[in-house]
Structure 1
Amino acid sequence: MQAAKQVYSASAQAIAELPLLEGFWQAAVKSDPWGGRRWLASLLAIHQPERMIPLDCPWWNVAATREIDAFLAARPDARVFEYGSGASTAWLSRRAREVISVEHHAGWHARLGELIADRANVRLWHRDLSGPGYVSAIAEAGGQFDLIVVDGRDRNACLAQALPFLKTGGLVLFDDTGRRRYRSAIKACGLKEDRHFGRSYCVPYPDFTSILHG
């Protein structure tokens, strides 16, 4: 399965570079964010934050993304903490007052940091997985958060660590909840789960993203 994903990603990136698609990219950026054109463009932008950030879409289920968009629109002063940085970090920065995002991969952290260096409301942290710094980064950040995104490594541990820092009425977005290894932690966390399944950015198959209500 992993090999197939790597082949797909490499093929999509090669197609995305074709000069004849320049007009397609320009139209996609201006299209309905929840529509088919934007989603189709995201399929070719997989693992390319340079393309995903202008498209203004995270690598999540589309319906879940729309719900989070509405949630943040009603909270212009929202604080967000994110495990696992990417195009979602830029997407969140356009909708929240403050975004703190922690990333374990040094190369990816550096690459993304260059792309969002102009976003003053973002703190992008690198924490190695060899110690407790990654999972406990939310405690280092301090305070309460309106939204917590669990979309990186050690997700079950991150969810457990994050719960005391979730505001009353806040949300946790937990991605890829079709994976069996996450189910017991979600069921045990004490939050109500809305599990979205269907069209998702960056992948040609339906996928899961859950929103947990505090």
Structure 2
Amino acid sequence: MLEWGSGHSTLWFSQFVNKYYAIEHDRSWHQTISEKLSAEAPNVELTLAAVDKGHMGWNGEEGSREQFQEYINAVDRFGVKKFDRVLVDGRARADCAEHILPYLAPDAVVFIHDFVVRPHYHSVAQKHYKEIARVSDGQTLVVLKPSSPQGEIF
């Protein structure tokens, strides 16, 4: 399993998989959560792809592909060919959901946190995925399956 963004979801979901990869952009949070993960979730490989405030005009909000290119591309460094599950819960979420397409196993699912309350995520989902489930109350989440075979150029 792969996650963009790290935290309590990392601790929770990592207990259900053999290996868990997480990518974090915030230096301070990375330090805090890596200590907790080392003690409680030894199957997690956490990597820092730091993006500091001010980088290419980033003001702390979600961020763009240009501002978060290294963060989005950090999955390329793991050497994992295919992921079964992906949780997109960090920055530049639509761009992460698009970038992961060639890395998805045939039966993979992608979860996007805050999907319902952030309509700008919907275009990438409609373009590349089909929705198979949704949580619309509280912590909103969508569960997606790719609509085209993995590895195909879109």
DSSP 3-state at the match of 1:164: helix
Cα drift, residue 207 of structure 1: 4.0
Residue in structure 2 matching 1:135, options 72, 79, 97: 72
Matched, 1:121 2:43: yes
Q: Is there any run of 5+ residues in structure 2 with no aligned partner, and where?
A: 56-67, 147-154
Does residue 213 of structure 1 match 2:145?
yes
How does the TM-score come out when normalised to structure 2? 0.77
For these two proteins, the number of residue pairs brought into alignment is 128
Partner in structure 2 of residue 196 of structure 1: 135
Q: CA deviation at 1:154?
A: 0.5
After superposing the two structures, state which structure 1 stretch, 84-93 or 115-124, moved more. Answer: 115-124
Structure number with higher helix proportion: 1
**Cα distance change on mapping 1:154 and 1:114 into 2, 3 Å:** same
Displacement after TM superposition at 1:155 (Å) = 0.6
Verify the 8 A CA contact 2:115 2:141 in the aligned structure 1.
yes
1:155-166 equivalent positions in 2, closer than 5 A? 155-166=93-104
Partner residue, 1:149:
87
Matches within 5 A, 1:77-92: 80-92=1-13
Q: Give the RMSD, CA atoms, in angstroms.
A: 1.5
What is the Cα deviation at residue 196 of structure 1? 1.7
Q: State the alpha-carbon separation in 2 of the partners of residues 208 and 197 from structure 1.
A: 5
Alignment of structure 1 residues 15-54 onto 2, 5 Å:
none
User: Share of identical aligned residues, percent?
Assistant: 28
Structure 2: how far apart are the matches of 1:180 and 1:117?
A: 36
Q: Which runs of 5+ in 1 are unaligned?
A: 1-79, 199-205
Tell me the amino acid that sits aligned with residue 152 of structure 1: G
Tell whether the 8 Å contact from 2:129 to 2:144 is kept in structure 1 after alignment. Answer: no
1:135 is aligned with what amino acid? Answer: I
1:107 is aligned to 2:28: yes
1:47 is matched with none
What is the distance in 2 between the residues matched to 1:128 and 1:191?
31
Distance in 1 between residues matched to 2:72 and 2:121, nearest whole Å: 16
